[in-house]
Homo-oligomer: A and B are copies of this chain.
């Protein structure tokens, strides 16, 4: 059993994922955490303050996930494939990508910062692995690794969007496989 402060942060993480910032009320967070109003306003200044803590924590939790695949075993191309094909809660959406639609999140540097850092860090790491792949002769050498890495991250985020619109995880898979098929050197 964790303390109330931790439970509040975890509940906020879940609700921000499910309903976004605007759709998440302090009351709902308290209820899910089993904490009262007094408890929440003792530990945090308000909704935005709690959301900052929750988003920071979610961002911290996501970095090791991508590192696990990108810094894992296998050839560079294998690692990029493993990252893109990693199991994801597609229909639930991206924990952080979802939040950038919220105007209040984008406007607050403390809310947006950690999200931006997750994406920027992942793009950089993917680009580095792609460059390894180019040197190894696995990946087309005629493309800009940074641009392609950005495109691959966009495929993941856009895959979430298309899959939710279609309510079918297959649309995510199609996007990822389409992107991966373009990555290899044509025979």
A176 / chain B contacts, CB cutoff of 8 Å:
151
Number of copies: 2
A22 / chain B contacts, CB cutoff of 8 Å:
19-20, 22-23
Taking residues whose C-beta sits less than 8 angstroms from the other chain, chain A's interface range is: 35 or more
Question: In chain A, residues 120-170, which have Cβ atoms closer than 8 Å to a Cβ of chain B?
Answer: 120, 123, 140, 142-144, 146-159, 161-162, 164-167
CB of A182 within 8 A of CB of B23, answer no
Which stretch from A4-12, A41-49, A94-102 is at the chain B interface?
Answer: A94-102
Partner of A119, one of B18, B120, B143, B165: B165
A26 within 8 A of B: no
Q: A18-B103, A154-B154 are in contact. List 12 more A-B contacts (CB 8 A).
A: A19-B103, A112-B167, A116-B167, A144-B181, A147-B178, A148-B181, A149-B178, A150-B175, A151-B155, A152-B178, A154-B161, A157-B162
